[in-house]
């Protein structure tokens, strides 16, 4: 289990990009970096990791929702598979690793 002290760097340390692999099942996040999580846990973990990279709460959750396919015209467009988010210096980039929804790598 990830502990918040493991996410935030010690004072003065350089923070490397944080790659997060999220596994979705029909638009619902079911695992973070291979660890099974609930939707609430996925959001909490993503918010904490995003804040460590100077990414606002709303931006981290919005990225999760966009990658899940929420807001699409039909549920069949929702993602099933793995998506990699790279959190770094206030930005979120994403790419599908193994997914039924094929989009190019892009900054969110």
pLDDT in tens, 75-86: 445 678 898 989
Query: Which residues lie closer than 8 Å to 64 by C-beta, 6 or more apart?
Result: 22, 29, 42, 43, 46
> Would you kindly state where each structural domain of the chain is located, as residue ranges?
18-101
Lowest mean pLDDT among 15-29, 30-44, 90-104: 90-104
Q: Do the strands 91-99 and 81-88 form a parallel or antiparallel pair, or are they unpaired? A: antiparallel
- In this prediction, residue 30 has a pLDDT band, given cuts at 50, 70 and 90, of very high
How many angstroms separate the CA atoms of 66 and 51, rounded? Answer: 18
Q: Do the strands 28-32 and 35-36 form a parallel or antiparallel pair, or are they unpaired? A: antiparallel
Dump pLDDT digits (tens) for 49-73.
998 888 887 787 777 777 666 544 3
Number of C-beta neighbours around residue 84 at 10 A: 15
């Amino acid at each position: 289990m990830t502990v918040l002290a493991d996410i935030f760097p010690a004072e003065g340390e350089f923070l490397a990009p944080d790659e997060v692999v999220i596994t979705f099942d029909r638009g619902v996040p079911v695992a973070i970096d291979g660890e099974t999580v609930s939707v609430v846990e996925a959001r909490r973990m993503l918010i904490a990791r995003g804040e460590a990279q100077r990414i606002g709460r709303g931006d981290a959750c919005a990225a999760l929702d966009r990658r899940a396919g929420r807001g699409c015209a039909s549920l069949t467009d929702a993602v099933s598979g793995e998506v990699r988010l790279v959190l770094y210096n206030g930005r979120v980039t994403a790419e599908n690793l193994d997914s039924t929804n094929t989009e190019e790598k892009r900054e969110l």
